[in-house]
Amino acid sequence: MNENENNEVEQDLNHLMQIRREKLEELIKNGKNPFEITKYNRTHTSKNVKDNYEELEGKDVSVAGRIMSKRIMGKASFCTIQDSEGKIQSYVSTNDLGEENYKEFKTYDVGDIIGITGFVFKTRTEEISVHAKEVVLLSKSLRPLPEKFHGLKDTDLRYRQRYVDLIMNPEVKETFIKRSKIISEIRKILDEKGYLEVETPILNTISGGATARPFITHHNTLDLDMYLRIATELNLKRLIVGGYDKVYEIGRIFRNEGMDIRHNPEFTSIEFYSAYEDYNDMMNITEEIFTKCAMRVCGTTKITYQGTEIDLGTKWKRITMIDSIKEVCGVDFNKINTDEEAIAIAKEKNIEIPKGKEDRGHIISLFFDEFVEKTLIQPTFIYEYPIEISPLAKKSKKDPRYVERFEIFIDGREYGNAFSELNDPIDQYERFKEEIAARENGDDEAGMMDEDYVNALEYGLPPTGGIGIGIDRLVMLLTDSASIRDVLLFPTMKPLN
């Protein structure tokens, strides 16, 4: 659309808005200001009426919603209203409303919110409808909805004006209903297993619990810089120290990082921790969560995501990071034991090594990211990670160069991260020191020293298994949504001006 066309559209919009304001002024002058109405006694939703037609036929109901279409036919009209559960048609005539009320009804615009009282019937085309005896204007829409046949298609505008998106695109509303059901199902699973839901601070004096760049803010009264949390992990494990055996938190996480179809600066995760369990137990409960959530919102564990068939119901593959690299590109890091050897093979395979990550552990991770991750289509647990990239996980009993950690991969994407939690305070302190050194060498995603957390570990953290799962990515998977913005009601957007 060129500039002239944009100007014409803007002028048309302003003209339509002016007409609607004039209609509102006329209503106010006649003592019928819709914005003074505080309540409407709705007895049924559109779905209630349709689901219970046999019982309600011929009986009076009161429904309410937004006018989505109108057909004026002289002394009788049809309109369709939309509420939170769907749409229902109404027959409106001058014989039932009277001439003055019917004349007023004809001035109502698509987008206006009305209440209708009348009896339930079927039209000649067998459409369940409400024969109106009374119509009340409850709210005047001063802006016209997007044009009927084109709707709201511009994705940027949809995200900025989600309220219009929800009105015009029913499938979007369904996505967020499914999101709510997924979160509800996760809570149900964990509650039934004896987990306690808790809340921990969003503002912290130390950024910790993950490898990520934090948002920094300032507390005026304390004159103190604070960090929006990048994870809930450390506080949840403090609660395990305090004597709770099982805890979880579903909450907003904030990371000052790039934005793409899988990343938003704020997102929702669930982290849960169980004393006397390890990362193998976390694998088992992860499978249960994914399969039960799929059954709740999809009715099956065999789903299609962006054209790819995925079976969440089969036994998930479990393979070490080292073996997965060997399987995909033939490089066996079991035979590469020094940093120098790892650097050499990275150069041979054209892997760029960031500054400060010139060691075997980080290079293993770079190989995995480059060659393996995109190949993991069906549900897979990748486990035994290098210790260099896992400062909060317990060392493997088989080889101390690795830790008891896994990540969940489906369709080439990571969905969760789990550990057998490190509970040795001496080891944890040393690993925090290594994070500080990495930070001083320019890694602004490296962690900080959390002496209070080490202090908590010194009181004794039992053997514990823990995991964090990205709620948004799980919702994307189970609603076949291409972008994280499609499953966030209000995604982060750059201002237009």
Residue with tokens 């940093």: 339
pLDDT digits (tens, 9 = 90+) for 62-114: 999 999 999 998 899 999 999 999 999 999 999 999 999 999 999 999 999 99
Residue 146 has which token pair?
Answer: 């997007």
On the question of pLDDT at 149 being above 60, the answer is no
Going from N- to C-terminal start, the domains of the chain cover: 20-145, 168-316+378-487
pLDDT value of position 209: 82
Residue 196 has which token pair?
Answer: 């306690």
* Secondary structure element (H or E) that encloses residue 63, with its range: strand 60-73
* CATH class as words, domain 20-145: mainly beta
pLDDT value of position 29: 96
20-145 and 168-316+378-487 share one CATH topology?
Answer: no
pLDDT digits (tens, 9 = 90+) for 377-389: 999 999 999 999 9
Segment 437-443 shows an average pLDDT of 78
C-alpha span between 130 and 123 (Å, rounded): 10
Judged by average pLDDT, the poorest of 226-235, 271-280, 434-443 is 434-443
On the question of pLDDT at 260 being above 50, the answer is yes
CATH architecture of residue range(s) 168-316+378-487: 2-Layer Sandwich (3.30)
pLDDT value of position 146: 86
Beta bridge partners of 275: 464
Distances in whole angstroms, Cα of residue 443 to Cα of each of 153, 358, 390, 433: 41, 13, 15, 13
pLDDT value of position 153: 66
Question: Is the distance from CB of 257 to CB of 263 less than 8 angstroms?
Answer: yes
